[in-house]
Structures are given as C-alpha cells and as structure tokens.
Amino acid sequence: MSAGKGGAGSSSSSCCHASKRGTCVTVSSMAFVIGLLLLAFYAFGDDTTLQVVCVVFRHGDRTPTETYPTDPYKNKNWQDGWGMLTAEGKRQMYTLGKYLRQRYDTFVSRLYSPGETWMESSANDRCLMSAQVLLAGLYPPTGHQVWNDELPWQPIPVHSTPRALDKLIVMKKPCPRYEWEKTKAYQTREIKQIDEENADLYSYLTQNTGKNISTILDVELLFNTLEIEEKNGLALPEWTKSVYPDRMKTLAAKSLAIFTHTPEMKKLYGGPLVKLITQQLSSKRSTALATAAGAPGRKLFLYSAHDVTLVSAWRTLGFAELLKPDYGAALMFEMHIVESKRFEVKLFYLNNTWLQRPRQLEVPNCGKPCSLDKFVDLMTPVLPDDWETECQM
C-alpha cells in the first residue's frame, strides 16, 4: 500500500537533509548499533507462561512508488528500483529480527524448525525481502545448521499468496461488497467535511504538484513520496514548507483509517487476518489443555505486511487512535497461561526498532488482564463467518 513515517531512519534523515551522504551513512550505522543495544535492554517477556506469539510487522524503509509532474526528482535514478527495500530498510528488518530473538530467546529455539515458526508475507518484493532479512536476525545458523563458515545465514521458507488472491495481508482479493462499502465511506458526511475543511490544501497541492489532489488518499500518496525524498537527503521544494509534514501527515493517517471506516469494512478488510490470529490463539489453548507438558506445535507466527495492514488490524481490534506506522512497526500478540486453565492475551505495539520500547496495549473493553475468552467474544462481531459469501453483494 503506502509508506509511513520513517521510524528507524528518522535519526539519520536529518543528517541526510543537512549533510553529505557519506556522513549520513556513518550516522545511520551508529544508530544501527545503538538500536541493537537499546533493544537488548528493552527485550522482555515472561516466557514461563507464554504459549504462542503472532507478530504483524510493516516492511522496512523503501524507495518511492510514484512521483508527481513538478517533482524535481521525478527522473532520479533510485538504485534499488522503485518501491524497493533500501539498505536502511534491511538494517531495520535485521534489527527487528534481533529484537524478536532477544525477547523470545527462551521461548523459541535458536535452531530454526518449520514446526515451530511460520513466516507469511505479502507478495510485494519489499515485504518478501523484509521477511528474509528479519529471519536472518532471528535465526542466525548455529550448530548443525551452520552450512557455510563464510556466510552466517541460512535459508528459511517465506510463504506468500499472489496479490490478486490475498485476503489476509495486502487484501487485494476481489470483494464487491467491500468496494461498495468503501465507495460509500468516501461519501459520508464525516469524510466530505474533511474534504471541505481541506479544500484550500487540495487546491494548493494541485497547483504546486501539477497533479489533481482531491482526496485524503491523494494527500497520503504525495506525503509518502515527499517523506522518502526528504529521508534520502533531497531538499524538498519551497512550497512544501507550509504543509509538510504536519498537516499532510494527519490526513495521511486518516486515509489509512478509512479502509476500515465502518464495522462492515473492518469485518471484510481487517477481519480475515485478525480472525486467523484469533484462531491460532484458540487452537494453542486447546492443545495446551490437552497436554500436561505444554502445547506442542508452532509457537511463532510472523506476517510481513504493509502500513495499511497494521492499521486495519489495529482498528479491527477496536482502537480509535489514528496510526501512521513507522517502517518496521509491529503488532505483537502474546497468549499466556496464568493458571492451569486460564489464558490471557497480551498485546504490544512497537512503532520502530530504534529508540522506542514496545508499548503494552489495553484491548478496548477487554479489561486488564484480557482473558482469551473475553478477547474472542469482543472480536467475533467484526470477524467474517464466510468471507467469500459475505463479499458478495
């Protein structure tokens, strides 16, 4: 979908803006080391009660996917290609993998096992690459899995579904009912009021970009391009100073939220992934209750996704706060057994992998602690029973 705030690259982007690229690479490398140290400090978790973990994360820093007619950099040669993972993005994903290793080191074996960990990705190249680099940080080869002394890496499967069939991560599988609901959402009084209140901004951006800007989605896509250019040390045009980033960023966050504007849209757009995660938590409880020595089977489910994936899951969970995820942002679902037959859900949000620790969230109306039964009851109304059927008009 779209890019969000540059999170892991933000500490180096100001350097890029003010200095030569070589200096910025040095600062970025220093930030990478500092990030690893901080994440080691912030890695925490009670593995003695932990049963299963599901992590939905946004891909790393990327190049632009589009430009605009008056863009002074529209003919720039992005060496990694358009919409591709950058070196900074690779560092972010490697850091996230190292963080997950530190956080769950006693929960997940250091030896990769296909029966223990599952990685699923959007079919976008930047997501597939992000998944691979994260796994490199999470599972550096050790013991018999060292196959090449010159390469501290091992191949690990990354599963994906073609974009046109994906209803979990990139959500591009055709759903006529959802498209109808989305069209209605753009016509609601709430969204029309946003358009009216920002008519001057739309006109200003249209005039200065040479591109028709008439919706919050248009603003979001332009914001993403400007943000990436700025992060790469490119001086933005003078006209951007009065509107970028603050005013445009607020609208960009609202644009991401509109994809789950109504309960029906949450069910059809964010619901499939949240339903899958809910099923994974419930299934692990069933196996835990059936065995005395702890639940066997997979314990770690990873989903390499987009900012809109995170926002849609966030809103399907019941959160109303506007979210513009950084690169590498992650939603972490944990299920713990606190008594012999009592299970709790803990939810954490890590906005970036550099200077922030994960924030523990309180699932709306679930209470603290949030029991698995209560969590399932809360989610049920916004989860599809039969997505294929419910997508029909």
| Catalytic (active-site) positions | 59, 307
Query: d(Cα 376, Cα 311) in Å, to the nearest integer?
Result: 20
DSSP 8-state symbol, 166: -
- Phi then psi dihedrals of residue 112, to 5 deg: -65, 135
- What SS3 class is residue 165? helix
Q: At what angle do helices 216-231 and 10-18 cross, to 10 degrees?
A: 70
Contact 200, 242 (CB under 8 A): no
Structural element, H or E, at residue 26? helix 21-42
Structural element, H or E, at residue 222? helix 216-231
Query: d(Cα 38, Cα 32) in Å, to the nearest integer?
Result: 10
Burial class for 332, CB neighbours closer than 10 Å (0-12, 13-18, 19+):
buried
Strand ranges in 134-227 using DSSP code E only, listed in sequence order: 159-160
Q: Which amino acid, residue 222?
A: L
Start-to-end CA distance of the chain, whole Å, equals 25
Encode burial over 153-168: b for 16+ CB neighbours within 10 A, e otherwise.
Answer: ebebebebbeeeebbb
